[in-house]
Structure 1
Amino acid sequence: MPTETLDFWLQQLLRYGTRLLIALVLIVIGLQLARWTARAVGAALIARHIDRLLADFVRSSIVAVGIVVVVLASLQLAGIPTASFLAVLGTAGLAIGLALKDSLAQLASGVQLMVLRPFRAGDQVTVAGQEGHVQSVRLFQTVLLSPDNRLITLPNTLIVNQAIVNASRCDKRRIDVSLALSIDTPLPRVVEAIAPVLQRPPLLREPAPLVAASDLSDKGVQLMIQAWAPRQDLATARSALIEALQKALAEAGVRPLGPPAPPLPAHG
């Protein structure tokens, strides 16, 4: 091989090899910097009592954007024209977007959940017929932990397109109890018997409890009882209220009726 040709290839190797090496170093340092920035921003958001779901979403978004920026900068530094690369990437992105429109819809729904924030990490929600505590909101899916300790993974589009019931957002919850009484039961005596029960903790005095007749038929009177309790004490408060009502009614000599019999099936 002539000396001039060898020198030419050595110069090209040195020129482009140095660029390629610098580009690889930039990729390594840039990716580490993106991860470090994502962790720092996430920690700062959590320190400011920002919801953990939003902090996780911001972290993952920073990493994704950082990867794209670092790769494009490295290609430019290595001497690869990024204009044509971006044009090809845009065309390929359009084709991929059409093929993955459902996945992109999931991504858009994940962003919508992060912006609107109908629930936070740990909230108890009911959505799409599923109930559980929110564990995480990912770009494409939301994960719930059911009361019986099962992980439920729901597509984000399914959540956005249906009603969301959040049982953790309000501090107070109402307890509803219905009593079926015979038609000749003296209601003032019943109300007097159960009034002290509705004043016992953890039941709340505000909003005030309510005792009212809700229905009347030839079979009897339906008495509606509503009381409020702190959200975190809801289950124990309901159980204690039912036990106390049973005892108070027994002491007053009032015996509630059983549930009405189911209607007979129609014939003909």
Structure 2
Amino acid sequence: METIINWVNDNSDMLLRYGIQVILAVVILLLGIKVAKLCSGLTEKAFSKRKIDKAVGGFVANIIYALVFAATVLMALSQVGIETTSFIAILGAAGLAVGLALQGSLSNFASGVLIIMLRPFKSGDFIEAGGKSGSVEKIEIFSTELRTPDNKVIIMPNSAIMSGAIVNYSREKTRRIDLVIGVSYDADLKQAKQVLQNVLDKETRLLTDPAYTVAVSELADSSVNFVVRPWVNTSDYWPTYFSLVENIKISLDEAGIGIPFPQMDVHLHKDS
């Protein structure tokens, strides 16, 4: 114990100098983290004021946070006395090794950049990608957050989104509802067509341009199939879809027109 005390007394100036440097480094690191958060928040607010997609703002804010944080770490290390030039060289070599080991993460980052540049969707759009569907909440450096209609949150890697087809259901202002309605072979086709048209004419949410289509599309195994294709505003798609299906069934029942079950005719031949 006495040896330690003597060593401390003999090196008190050095310990004081290094202690001050460490404290300053910690202060720089803490302030740098706050500055990084502040810059990130200001970036998001600036994008929001300019009415730029908040997903883009969040992505850029994350990159700015990472850059400011990395600069803060280098400043803190420099304050302690570590040569940042050699440290950067070491980080570069280590980064190459880590990059090879984390190719998937780099792929996600590159895909995130492509999403921001190409803009296949924006925040709030309902999309289908990578086998999942939902509304886009935000786009981050490595992943994109979707929210499903039943309020589940899906965190998807950006590479999974960009590696396949992306279906954007919200980009266009209008959508077409595609219904296939089967009626019995015994039904009067002209009457059935008129019933379907009457249902469409009563639905106020349908668009008149383009006009709807009602036509016989197939003589199927068990039924004669009509295609019913009206156009609606994208925001009215599902309420109108559900309403049409219900009203078509009710109207066909009232007209005495059956919607047959799948059936098969079996012919028996008796040998003499």
1:239 aligns with 2:242: yes
* 2:101 aligned residue: 99
User: CA offsets per residue over residues 92-123 of structure 1, 9 Å max, x none?
Assistant: 11111122222222222222223323223332
Please report the TM-score for the alignment, with normalisation by the length of structure 1. Answer: 0.80
The count of aligned residue pairs is: 257
Cα distance in 1, alignment partners of residues 136 and 264 from structure 2: 38
User: CA offsets per residue over residues 55-102 of structure 1, 9 Å max, x none?
Assistant: 111111111100112232444455543221111111111111122222
Aligned in 2, Cα 1:261/1:189: closer, same or farther, shift over 3 Å? closer
Query: Identical aligned pairs, as a percentage?
Result: 36
Cα shift at 1:24: 4.6
Cα shift at 1:33: 2.3
Shifted more, 198-207 versus 26-35: the winner is 26-35
* 2:39 aligned residue: 37
Cα distance in 2, alignment partners of residues 262 and 25 from structure 1: 81
Shifted more, 211-220 versus 39-48: the winner is 211-220
1:116 alignment partner AA: L
1:115 aligns with 2:117: yes
| Alignment counterpart, residue 191 of structure 2, candidates 161, 169, 189 | 189
2:239 alignment partner AA: T
1:210 aligns with 2:210: no
| Alignment counterpart, residue 67 of structure 1, candidates 69, 82, 90 | 69
* 1:180 aligned residue: 182
Cα shift at 1:220: 4.5
CA RMSD of aligned residues (A): 3.1
For the residue of structure 1 that corresponds to 2:225, the secondary structure is: strand
- Whether the aligned pair in 1 keeps the contact of 2:56 and 2:116 (CA below 8 Å) is yes
* 1:229 aligned residue: 232
1:117 alignment partner AA: R
Structure 2: unaligned runs, 5 residues or longer: 1-10, 267-272
Aligned in 2, Cα 1:63/1:262: closer, same or farther, shift over 3 Å? farther
* 2:127 aligned residue: 125
Cα distance in 1, alignment partners of residues 222 and 96 from structure 2: 68
* 2:60 aligned residue: 58
Aligned in 2, Cα 1:217/1:73: closer, same or farther, shift over 3 Å? closer
- Whether the aligned pair in 2 keeps the contact of 1:190 and 1:254 (CA below 8 Å) is no
User: CA offsets per residue over residues 26-63 of structure 1, 9 Å max, x none?
Assistant: 44433322221211111111122222222111111111
User: CA offsets per residue over residues 119-138 of structure 1, 9 Å max, x none?
Assistant: 23332222222222233333
2:207 alignment partner AA: L
Please report the TM-score for the alignment, with normalisation by the length of structure 2. Answer: 0.79
Cα distance in 2, alignment partners of residues 47 and 78 from structure 1: 40
* 2:4 aligned residue: none
- Whether the aligned pair in 2 keeps the contact of 1:179 and 1:256 (CA below 8 Å) is no
Aligned in 2, Cα 1:14/1:249: closer, same or farther, shift over 3 Å? closer
Cα shift at 1:12: 6.5
Aligned in 2, Cα 1:114/1:219: closer, same or farther, shift over 3 Å? same
